[in-house]
């Protein structure tokens, strides 16, 4: 069974049949405090969970790392990644990005990758890099207006590796594209594609190759 970690604003009651582990990571001063459950107060996470649940049989590991104002920190993301890896995640979806490199997050990404976790992170289509997408080994994903639901693109640009349909419920842009790339990767793994071949298989499955051309 493939386990897909959603590191975001949490999930909703409709996702409970798929959720095998859930935790909230709150920031208290300089410490990250884990709490049981990850019920979302914001629509972002549940919309992405809907996308991830489109993969037949996938199990969800849900880490809530955002407060009610869409604010999070490198320490919360790092704690969630470590926990998700411990729960046996095969793919970790991080539809978020921080503007600054932080050692605590960089090290957590390295630990997850060393355990064989695919870390898929949202990358902006334009502008400065974001973290964790900018770290080596992370699959950088964004929205691509060319892609219909279920389609992905191989971009191979300085900004992003893969793109996908840029809508997921009320969520638009890189966040939605990231979740759809994570779902496509999880679907390949669920069909028995070996992890060592999964990224190349994802690239071969792309409906489009090269960057989206905008007027």
Model confidence at 6: pLDDT above 80: yes
Question: For position 25, what pLDDT does the model report?
Answer: 97
Question: For position 215, what pLDDT does the model report?
Answer: 52
Per-residue pLDDT averaged across 150-159, rounded?
95
**What stretches of 128-205 adopt beta strand conformation (E)?**
139-143, 152-154, 162-164, 167-168, 171-172
Model confidence at 31: pLDDT above 80: yes
Question: For position 171, what pLDDT does the model report?
Answer: 95
The answer to whether the beta carbons of residues 140 and 160 sit under 8 Å apart is yes
Per-residue pLDDT averaged across 36-46, rounded?
92
pTM (predicted TM-score): 0.96
- Using alpha carbons, select from 186, 178, 83 the residue that is nearest to residue 124: 178
Q: DSSP 3-state assignment of 72? A: coil
Distance CA(117)–CA(170), nearest Å, equals: 28
Per-residue pLDDT averaged across 184-201, rounded?
98
In order of their start, the domains of the chain are: 3-209 (3.40.50.200)
Query: In the chain, what percentage of residues exceed pLDDT 70?
Result: 99
Distance CA(34)–CA(37), nearest Å, equals: 9
Per-residue pLDDT averaged across 49-62, rounded?
97
List residues bridging with 162 in a β-sheet: 141, 154
Instruction: State the pLDDT confidence band at 62, using cuts at 50, 70 and 90.
Output: very high
Per-residue pLDDT averaged across 5-26, rounded?
97
């Amino acid at each position: 069974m493939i386990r897909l970690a959603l590191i975001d604003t949490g999930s909703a009651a409709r996702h409970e049949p798929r959720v095998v582990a859930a935790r909230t990571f709150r920031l208290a001063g300089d410490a990250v405090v884990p709490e049981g459950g990850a019920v979302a107060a914001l629509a972002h996470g549940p919309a992405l969970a809907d996308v991830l649940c489109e993969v037949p049989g996938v199990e969800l590991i849900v880490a809530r790392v955002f407060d009610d104002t869409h604010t999070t920190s490198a320490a919360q993301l790092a704690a969630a990644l470590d926990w998700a890896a411990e729960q046996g995640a095969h793919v970790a979806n991080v539809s978020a990005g921080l503007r600054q490199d932080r050692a605590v997050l960089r090290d957590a990404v390295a630990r997850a990758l060393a355990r064989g976790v695919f870390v898929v992170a949202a990358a902006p289509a334009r502008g400065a890099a974001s973290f964790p997408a900018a770290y080596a080994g992370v699959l950088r994903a964004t929205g691509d207006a060319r892609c219909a639901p279920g389609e992905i693109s191989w971009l191979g640009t300085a900004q992003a590796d893969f793109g996908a349909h840029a809508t997921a419920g009320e969520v638009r842009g890189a966040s939605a594209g990231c979740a759809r790339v994570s779902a496509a990767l999880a679907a390949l793994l669920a069909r028995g594609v070996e992890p060592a071949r999964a990224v190349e298989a994802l690239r071969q499955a792309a409906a489009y190759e090269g960057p989206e051309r905008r007027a």
